[in-house]
Structure 1
Amino acid sequence: MARADRDELVYPREYALSKITLVLGILFWALMLVGTFGIMLLYVLIGYVLYLFAQSALIAHIKGNGVEVTPAQFPDLHAQFVSCCQTLQINGSPQVYVLQGGGMMNAFAARFLGLQYIVLLSDVVDAMAEHPDGVRFYLGHELGHLRMRHIGKHFLRWPALWLPLLGAAYSRAKESTCDRHGAACSTTPENAARALAVLAAGRARWKDINLDSYARQLSETGGFWMSFHELTGGYPWLTKRVARVMEHKPSLPRRNRWAGVMAAIVPYGGRIGGAGVVILYFYIVIFILTIGLPIYRDQLPRLHAYLMFSETAMTRSALEDYYINNHDVPSSLAEIGQKEHLNNGDTLALNEHNMTITVTSHNKSMLITPGINKQKHISWYCTPGTDMQAAQMPATCVNGGH
């Protein structure tokens, strides 16, 4: 098996998308750090600690329950792994484990504190028992993720990965790159295609799949809904993946342009895909309508009352100064240089007998009455007037304060 040239194994669009997402991600972090450096550092630290615990739990589960592939343990798998590393010119091999997957047909790569891991779920290994290149393809695919640093290296570009179209396109490009790595580890393109076909036909029927007939299903991927869900998803359709490992530049149908327009307003949702994001939007809207709006309607009058009290601050301060200096109440607001009509349309009225201020806003009124506290300072207390309730009064006003 000839050694593979690295540049040929990288899907052409991955380099460009990688640079774009990195630049946009760095720009986002730079803008955030300019204004909120301390808070951002705290969030980053909290996020890293949470990631550390989650990743350590995964690695502990793999090491504690999986079977490490070594020359003495599953030597056939180990020989395929070594051969694949040589083909891809990878030094410093990661640790490889076989783990019971509960029926899942998959494999994955992981990083933790500088160490690299590849996990083959047992159902994939069993399904590929009669396939000479089956496991080799999956090993190559996961080695591609590690080689291209797809695992755990997204912090800087993370904000850009949520952008519509861009984040999903970058994810699909990475998968196409790793499929090329898997194909390079296979002895023939057909063997690589059949290894992928197990994800479509299952652990037994993959042996009977007609790859030419399967490739003809590509014609169905250009419709509106097929295009939309691929543009918002992180994986190319399996029919396309099979076609690409069989030939680098297959003839693929053009995606529906209107699907691109719709996908442009759907942020990338990772593995949940476009449908998952739409469902998430739906639940957010339902939450807002059922919980958010009632809370908003309840808090809005309180906010309005707080603003009514706050806009009397200068008048209250002027009244305090006048009372301290004259031991009396002014006859009008004009006497202390205050306006009865505010710029926002609200009005103030002064009771010259007890120095109570009545503020009226949009046909609602509040009475703000002075009182002498234990420190011989004037405190102000609120009581509801027209179309207002006691529960709506600001806490600083109910308890007394400036």
Structure 2
Amino acid sequence: MNLIYKNEKTLFGIMLAVSLLIWAALIISTVGMALVYGLIFFISYCFAQSALVSYLKGTAVQITPAQFPDLYQRIETCCQRLDLAPVPDAYLLQMGGVFNAFATRFLGRHFIVLYSEVVDALEERPDAINFYIGHEIGHIKRNHLRWSALLAPATFLPLLGAAYARAREYTCDRYGFHACDDLKSAQVGLAALAAGGKRWRQMSAGQYAAQAQQSTGFWMSFHELVGDYPWLVKRMAVVRGLAHGNEVSQPGRHGLAYLLALLVPRLGVGGAGSVLAVIALIGVLGAVAVPAYEEYMTKARMTQAIAVGHDATAAVERYFYANGRGPATLEQAGYAMADPSHAVQDIAVDPGNGVVRVFPSDLNYRGKAIAFTPSVDENKRVVWQCAGEEIPASVLPPECRN
């Protein structure tokens, strides 16, 4: 059995290509500042992950050969079956009735967290716990956690980000299925997710999987297309098919749902938490990208202003060679300002020393000047030195930073 869902590798390739293009565009457009902001984001991410891992170590119960040896043996067996080494750190966490499990990664070390509600609900069918363990091992084996930062730019794209997330879940369900001794145990694990800790015993997995045929409507199609997880009924249909040695063909989606989903960036399935995450991302982008863009535009306008200054100094220099002295005004030197980009508010020459001052139109630097100071070298040639007067060197080209 192929443990990798049919579309995951293709979607990963598209995600990687798109993300690399976005990262390259960010680095070029921000003149490399995106790398600095990426480092800041990575540090922030490490702090967030450290908070999660600290919470696990300070709250959850670590699963060891001495503490819950039965669960430890299951995790170790699943790792051997799925060829994962070393065995990740594992914890049992009480989540107030929530049925789930998750894997995380911090500073190169992997962690698996089982919710106690799942373990308690499946006490009669402990092999079904292997499904949860194997599912999380799938995330580790497929490097889903390792690639997440690099793929981040593409994850928010409509359709693509959510499609890749769903493909990963289908892949990890296959890992969970392969980790079970009994081919029906994966169905039991999904049944517990669907019906809860007690009612799963009375639930018909076959009838539940048949509900997948109801997912072809417009709204069910749309909400799945913008979500990170396939409908649970579809996941049940897949693992039932695997138990019978079949690959299940899922029912098609409504065509118009794709058009609407194309207008919705990926928010995930975290409800208010996902919305808050998007709002936070917008805030970070605003705090990072807007200042970077403003600085980029300021540098561009300063470069244009300096180009105007070069034209003026050339006129002053010609006048000096022709008359042996500097002009009283730029008009006397035959200079007429050409500034189609409106980068310069004013430009003037000092008749006493020949210094040409360019006053940028940038509102942040009104009244401040870029000074071109002339001197004569040993060959009687005029040499110009450019520098900002109360204008930071950081927004000027290298030629004007001395």
TM-score normalised by the chain length of structure 2: 0.69
Q: Which moved more, 1:164-173 or 1:84-93?
A: 84-93
Q: Tell me: CA distance 1:273–1:83, structure 2 relative to 1, closer, same or farther (3 Å).
A: same
Q: Which residue of 2 aligns with 1:127?
A: 121
Where do 1:189-204 residues align within 5 Å? Answer: 189-204=183-198
Cα deviation 1:278-308 (Å, max 9, x = unaligned): 9979xx9xxxxxxxxxxxxxxxxxxxxxxxx
Distance 2:70 2:274 in 1: 40
Tell me the alpha carbon deviations over residues 166-214 of structure 1, each in whole angstroms, 9 at most, x when there is no partner: 1111100000011011111123332211211211111111111111211
Distance in 1, Cα, partners of 2:76 & 2:273: 40
Query: How far is the alpha carbon of 1:276 from its aligned partner?
Result: 6.4
Letter in 2 for 1:253: P
1:216 aligns with 2:210: yes
Aligned to 1:305: none
Please give the alpha-carbon distance, in whole angstroms, between the structure 2 residues aligned to 1:274 and 1:266: 16
State the AA in 2 paired with 1:122.
Answer: S
Contact 1:228–1:259 (CA under 8 A) maintained in structure 2: yes
Q: 1:9 Cα shift?
A: 1.0
Instruction: State yes or no: 1:76 paired with 2:70.
Output: yes
Which residue of the other structure, out of 21, 24, 47, is the alignment partner of 2:18? 24
Q: How has the CA–CA distance of structure 1 residues 129 and 36 changed in structure 2, closer, same or farther, with 3 Å as cutoff?
A: same
Partners of 1:274 and 1:232 in 2: CA distance: 15
User: Paired residue for 2:87?
Assistant: 93
Task: State the SS of the aligned residue for 2:2.
Answer: helix
Does structure 2 retain, via aligned residues, the 8 Å contact 1:190–1:246?
yes
* Residue-by-residue CA offset, 1:329-368 (whole Å, 9 max, x unaligned): x9xx9x99999xx999xxxxxxxxxxxxxxxxxxxxxxxx
2:162 aligns with one of 161, 168, 175: 168
Instruction: Output the CA distance in 2 between the equivalents of 1:208 and 1:104.
Output: 20
Aligned-partner SS, 2:111: strand
Equivalent residues in 2 for 1:269-308, closer than 5 Å: 269-272=267-270
- Aligned residue number for residue 298 of structure 1: none
Q: Choose 61-70 or 267-276, whichever is displaced more.
A: 267-276
2:252 match: 254
What is the match of residue 375 of structure 2?
Answer: none
1:138 matches 2:132: yes
Instruction: Report the AA paired with residue 214 of structure 2.
Output: E
| Aligned residue number for residue 188 of structure 1 | 182
Unaligned runs of 5+ in 2: 283-308, 310-328, 341-354, 358-362, 372-402
TM-score, normalised by the number of residues in structure 1: 0.69
Q: Report the Cα offset of residue 92 of structure 1.
A: 1.1
- Letter matched to residue 77 of structure 2: S
CA contact (8 A) 1:141 1:182 kept: yes
Cα distance between partner residues in 1 of 2:210 and 2:276 = 30
Out of 32-41 and 252-261, give the one that drifted further.
32-41
After superposition, the Cα gap between the structure-2 partners of 1:69 and 1:279, relative to the gap in structure 1 and judged at 3 Å, is closer
Total equivalences in the alignment: 352
Aligned position for 1:40:
34
- Cα distance in 2 for partners of 1:400, 1:278 equals 45
Residue in structure 2 matched with residue 263 of structure 1 by the alignment: 261
Q: Which runs of 5+ in 1 are unaligned?
A: 1-6, 285-312, 314-329, 345-376, 380-393
CA distance in 1, matches of 2:196, 2:241: 23
Aligned to 2:392: none
Q: CA deviation at 1:44?
A: 1.4
Cα distance change, pair 396–160 in 1 and its aligned pair in 2 (3 A): closer
CA deviation string 1:346-396 (max 9, x = no partner): xxxxxxxxxxxxxxxxxxxxxxxxxxxxxxx9x9xxxxxxxxxxxxxx687
The alignment status of 1:238 with 2:238, answered yes or no, reads no
Residue 358 of structure 1 corresponds to which residue in structure 2? none
Change (3 A) 1:250 1:164: same
Is 1:107 paired with 2:101?
yes
Distance in 1 between residues matched to 2:161 and 2:274, nearest whole Å: 15
Write the letter of the residue equivalent to 2:99: M
Cα deviation, residue 109, structure 1: 0.6
Query: How far 1:397 moved relative to its partner?
Result: 6.4
Q: Tell me which amino acid in the other structure corresponds to 2:37.
A: Y
Residues 1:206 and 2:200 aligned together:
yes
Contact 2:61 2:93 in 1 (8 A): yes
Distance verdict in 2 for CA 1:273–1:168, change over 3 Å: farther
Instruction: Name the stretch that deviates more: 170-179 or 37-46.
Output: 37-46
1:129 shift after superposition: 1.3
Residues 244-253 or 143-152, more deviating: 244-253
Preserved CA contact (<8 Å) 1:110 1:117: yes
SS in 2 for 1:268: coil
Q: CA deviation at 1:274?
A: 12
AA of the residue aligned to 2:47: F
User: Which segment is superposed worse, 186-195 or 41-50?
Assistant: 186-195
